[in-house]
Amino acid sequence: MAKRKRGRPPKRKPTKFHLGQASSLPGSLWGLWLNHILKHGPTWLYVATFLSHAFCCRITEVLRLRARDISIKDKAVHVSSMKRAKAVDKRLLRVLLPKLTSLKHKGVRRKRQRNAGARGLVSWTDAWSWPEKPSGYLFPSDRQDAKEARRTKDTACKATGRLRETFAPKCKDPPVTRTIRTHSARHRMISDLKASDIPDTISMRMARINDTKTFAKYGQLSDQQVGNVLDRSAKLRKTLGEIYGVYGTTTKRNKRNS
């Protein structure tokens, strides 16, 4: 019998397939993706994806939320510590309060159908509701043999992976489906912050990103978003207007002043 060689274990070979950056689903693609989840996917995933975007949180941070962590009255959400980042109380944006209020009081319900073999199509109700107890998880596990009382990132990733295979939006530049992941929601919010001229210091605080190089990799803007930001810039319009006489040339103004 050959003796086992002692020493360090061999290094693992790097995988040939690199996931790359998750798609931020720019423009109307984000709304189409949410509608696709609501129509074909589990309702809990729809809510988790919405909250990940609304709070600019990682999916794991969202799945850890309990009912007591979100206070619509105080307009705040408590996000626990993760990846060396301290716990933080994020302010709820006022424009999202009606949506959050509706989720809390009405939940989400959808009629589903599935093929049950010899029994044919079976109808059932897929429902998500706000926890009754303050200590209850927003996304509790439905498995009795689960190691944790809440749903995990792996569960969300698998559900997202199944849904993206059937996501085929009719648009000019459809996304590469394998780039749609649970992290796309956070990417989309960072893109929205950049496209809305929010200062980087505020956006980084919202996303809980400390490194500027890391932040620069997030929220890649589309050509249309870049154009919209430039069009909204009053300073740029004034500068170009003075150069090309759109608002009256600088020469004419100087003559009036003299």
Do residues 114 and 240 share a domain? no
The answer to whether 112 and 126 are in contact (CB under 8 A) is yes
Top-confidence residue, 174 or 181: 181
CATH of residue 197? 1.10.443.10
Q: What is the CA radius of gyration of the chain?
A: 24
Is 248 part of any domain? Answer: yes
Indicate if 53 and 152 belong to the same structural domain. Answer: yes
Please choose, from the candidates 151, 190, 169, 147, the residue with its C-alpha nearest in 3D space to the C-alpha of residue 59.
151
pLDDT band at 70 (very low <50, low <70, confident <90, very high): very high
Contact 254, 242 (CB under 8 A): no
Angle at 59 between CA 87 and CA 56, to 5 degrees: 65
Cα Dmax for the chain = 102
Is 209 within 8 Å of 13 (Cβ atoms)? no
For residue 20, the model assigns a pLDDT of: 72
3-state class of 123 per DSSP? strand
Residues 183-208 have pLDDT tens digits of 999 999 999 998 888 999 999 999 99
- Together in a domain, 116 and 241: no
**What pLDDT is stored for residue 4 in this prediction?**
53
Q: Is the pLDDT assigned to residue 12 strictly greater than 90?
A: no
Same domain, 148 and 250: no
**Assigned domain for 95 exists:** yes
Whether 24 is in a domain gets the answer: no
- Name the range with the highest mean pLDDT among 12-26, 121-135, 173-187: 121-135
Assess if residue 109 is contained within a domain.
yes
How many domains does one find in the chain? 2
Q: Are residues 196 and 253 in the same domain?
A: no
pLDDT digits (tens, 9 = 90+) for 137-155: 999 998 878 788 999 999 9
Same domain for 251 and 172?
no
Determine, yes or no, domain membership for 81. yes
Percent of the chain with pLDDT over 90: 54
What residues make up the domain containing 76? 29-210
Task: Give the residue with greater pLDDT, 227 vs 253.
Answer: 227
- The strand ranges marked E within the chain are 70-71, 76-79, 88-91, 108-115, 121-128
Q: Does residue 176 lie in a domain region?
A: yes
Q: Find out whether 172 and 200 touch, Cβ atoms under 8 Å.
A: no
132 and 87 share a domain?
yes
Residue 243: what pLDDT? 87
Q: What is the pLDDT of residues 85-94, one digit of tens each?
A: 789 999 999 9
Nearest one of 194, 245, 191, 201 to 25, comparing CA atoms: 191
User: Is residue 20 included in any domain, yes or no?
Assistant: no
- Are 183 and 255 within one domain? no
Query: Mean pLDDT lowest for which of 124-138, 186-200, 206-220?
Result: 206-220
Residues 102 and 144 in one domain: yes
**98 pLDDT above the threshold of 70:** yes
Question: Alpha-carbon distance 78 to 68, whole Å?
Answer: 9
Residue 8 lies in a domain: no
Q: Are residues 173 and 56 in the same domain?
A: yes
Mean pLDDT estimate for the chain: 85
Question: CA-CA distance, 127 to 50, in Å (whole number)?
Answer: 16
